[in-house]
Amino acid sequence: MKNWRMHALAGLLLAGAAPAAFAATATVYYYTPYKGWSTANIHHNASGSWTSVPGIAMDAGCTDWKKKTIDFSTTNFQAVFNNGTGSAWDNPSGGGNYTVPAGVHQVKNGAIVANAGDPCAAVQEQTATVFYKPNTAWTTVNIHYAPNGGLWTTPPGVSMDVACTGWRKKTVSLGTATGLAVTFNNGTTWDNNGGRNYALGTGVTTVVNGAVTSNAPSPCVVDVTPPTTPTNLAGTATGTSVKLTWDASTDPESSLSYLVTRTGGTSGTVSFTSAITTYTDTTGAANTVYNYVVSARNAVGLDSGASNIVPVKTGELTVVSSAFTWDNATVYFLLNDRFANGDTSNDRSYCRESSQACVPFGNDLTQMPSGFHGGDLKGITAKLKANYFKDLGVNALWITAPYEQIHGFVFGGNGAKHYAYHGYYALDWTAIDKNMGSRADLQELVDTAHAQGIRVVMDVVLNHTGYENIKDMAEYGYGKLNSGWEATAYKPADVLTDWQNDVGRYIDYTSGNWAGTYWTRDWIRMNAVAGMDPCEGTDGLKGCVGFLPDLKTEVTSNVGLPSILTVKWGREGRLATEQQKLDAWFAQTGKARTPANHLVKWLTDYVGEFGIDGFRVDTAKHVDMNVLKDLKTEAVKARQAWLAANPVKAALLKGETAFWMTGEVWGHGVGRSAYFDNGFDSIINFNFQGAAGNTGGLNATYTELATVNANNSTPYNVLSYISSHDKGLFDRNNLQTGLTSLLLAPGGVQLFYGDESARPLMGNWTGDHAWRGDMNWSTPNATLLAHAKKLGQFRNAHPAVGAGTHSKLADAPFTFARVKDSDKVVVAIGAGGRAAITVAGIFADGTVVRDAYTGALATVAAGKASVDVGSAGVVLLEVASGN
């Protein structure tokens, strides 16, 4: 029959007769997950008229696909699809019908892809088997998923099967996808990995307590054979780092990892895990003998025997060598008075909290929310010598002003005595406050810091002096006191009723004595004080911030010494000496004797005498720009003079040695402003605190921080923080996230004292005093502190973290690279289980990398480094030493 038809047609063609219309064929594949259907009908007009509704049932093709082959005699035909009953339809996106020509086509997600071929033959079907261990209260478990590039199942998803005790299981088809996004639920409560969804791959994956383990053995396979015992454990020390190696264990039924146990030293028994047969312990102390042993553990928790025990003695403290740059600075901000008390004999200097006869009241100073608690320069130095800051990876200390503050107290808004414990109520810029210590103490602090490569930044104030107060008025004879003032000045209780009752009634602000005995009219402005110019509000260049006496930094004419300093220096026997110093400086610089220039001289003396490395300028927006620029110019000169005069000390400072200046400009963000053209290398970034807890927005935050100088010819940077003395403490329940965001941020970062150890709010104290409590030395959060140390040391070892370019490598987990010259790192945040971290383009295949968080090593393959992730979900990849 077939041969007869072919010959007949050939005869007609040879004879030149016109043949009848030749039938065309179209094979249509329809993708059912688009509408969530299990069956599909095609309704078409291939014969010239439409099929009866609901059309013709399509045949099974392969998973997710239905197919139908249709003959027709025109160039194309029209078609639509439905769920088999006609109750739900699929028309092309935008409406109308699908136009179907001859050939093999795919209809998927509202569009027809002509001549796309057979989807069931083109690629290998991918599947994923997911084991999930739910909350014990769940009796029903659903998996809601979407193959990569595909659509989500209809909520609540697909019911999971019981696999074995405590576990649910589901094998799902992924089509051509090689991974899927997953959440779990019991119909009402959802587990969506903290809002990020779980990112799973093909093969077998286990999910339990937020931890994802890829290519895992089935948790429901009974494995009763433990791994063999690892052998030939050996260890070598380099400084405080100990590298261990051993021969592998075997287990034919399960994957395995290794448990390294260390004993000895003051830390007791410490354990580490490794996925490979080597581990580097970087957490040991110097000159200490540790004993190490290793065992293997398989996927079902069976342990091998213990290996041989290896004793290893560490050497001297391992010092990470990296060139310091302010663009990668980790600036540790502490309040001197609240950090550490190194000398209790100076806790009540100037008869603070003492009787008129200077007899101490005997009260507990640490219970005064706004009083001096006893912290001092010696206390900071002691912590430097204990390597506290070095262990944190800190490379700069921001100390509060050590110069002399008002001796008395003022009425605090919290109804308590308010002393100048914070360093912002200056009395004399030329002297060290005795509560802080001595000039020798400050020199020792700076020298000790410099010996460790740590810079010292000093808080400075040019905007205002300290408040007038009853005790200082009596001591130096300025203003006028009314009788009975002693009742307040020497009041033992830390409770004040109100300002008028405890302070105001004893001070006569109408007396003509003020202008000639205090800071004088040429130096300051004050409200409602006889003989003084009034403030212009509480903002701007002539406002009195917090009602503090405002220094007239805008004055350009010569002024004499203020009366209060003349009296004070005279009593101390140094009036002539201080006058001679001023005369010499003004003669050498040729500057006018303005209030601002006196302040510039006094502050830059700390640079030239002690080697202070930088200033943090308080209330900078309230000081004339020209004064700020001049402060920086003179500080740079003083810095150069110090470097030249102290070559041995200067040699300890590797990397940048230039003087650095940052400042507080309330509300300033990341953008470039005029401050950077007037002396500032950096300005504090007020925006980061609110962004640090939003891990989903970190890439945008990091990108902005890393490109602050992308479109500017003059370099600049910002100093980001999560907690501060003025803006409050970061959420104490989310500090791990906050510290991760901060210590991995581009640019300079400021770590507020106690954030690394979860220092709590202080009791029932109110306002900013509650944020400025004593350092929690006796109750640190050890886990959080260890987390901060790992991040800080990694940051300090790699200038690329703060000063490098930033590029995102992956979304789940959030993975990014930082590169500066030859320094390259890859960081992942939000990882879990055993994770394959994307490193393509940064570390070549075959490169051995080290996770600085856990110490584990991995070899890069196919653009990824696979590591067992630490409990914080952070991976810090660097090239392994010797690579």
Q: Are 227 and 296 in contact (CB under 8 A)?
A: yes
Q: Name the catalytic one among 343, 441, 550, 618.
A: 618
- Which helix (H) or strand (E) segment is 515 a member of? helix 514-517
In Å, how far are 228, 243, 262, 295 from 247, measured between CA atoms?
A: 11, 14, 18, 11
Structural tokens at position 530: 């006889």
Q: Are 785 and 755 in contact (CB under 8 A)?
A: no
The rounded distance, in Å, linking the Cα atoms of 63 and 125 is 8
Q: Are 107 and 65 in contact (CB under 8 A)?
A: no
In Å, how far are 134, 139, 207, 222 from 160, measured between CA atoms?
A: 11, 11, 13, 21
H runs (alpha helix) in 615-697: 625-645, 647-650, 688-691
Quote the radius of gyration of the chain (alpha carbons, Å): 37
* 589 Cβ neighbours under 8 A, 6+ residues apart: 597, 634
H runs (alpha helix) in 307-394: 336-339, 377-385, 388-391
Cross-strand bridge partners of residue 455: 396
Please, how many CA atoms are within 13 Å of residue 704, restricted to the half-sphere of its CB? 14
> Maximum Cα–Cα distance for the chain, whole Å?
136
Strand 455-460 relative to strand 614-617, pairing:
parallel
Backbone angles phi, psi at 412, to 5 degrees: -85, 150
What amino acid occupies position 43? H
Please, how many CA atoms are within 13 Å of residue 20, restricted to the half-sphere of its CB? 5
In a 3-state reduction of DSSP, which class is residue 576? helix
What is the SS3 assignment for 383-438?
HHHCCHHHHCCCCEEEECCCEEECCCCEECCCCCEECCCCCCCEEEEEEECCCCCC
**Known catalytic membership, residue 618:** yes
DSSP codes of every residue in 121-187: HHS--EEEEEEEE--TT-S--EEEEEETTSPPPSTT-EEPEEEETTEEEEEEEEET-SEEEEEEESS
> Of 380, 420, 730, 439, whose CA–CA distance to 574 is shortest?
439
**Known catalytic membership, residue 125:** no
- Which helix (H) or strand (E) segment is 662 a member of? strand 660-663
- Which helix (H) or strand (E) segment is 203 a member of? strand 203-208
* 544 Cβ neighbours under 8 A, 6+ residues apart: 464, 525, 526, 527, 535, 537, 538, 550
* 256 Cβ neighbours under 8 A, 6+ residues apart: 227, 249, 296, 297, 298, 299
Q: Name the catalytic one among 347, 433, 664, 681.
A: 664
Name the residues annotated as catalytic: 618, 664
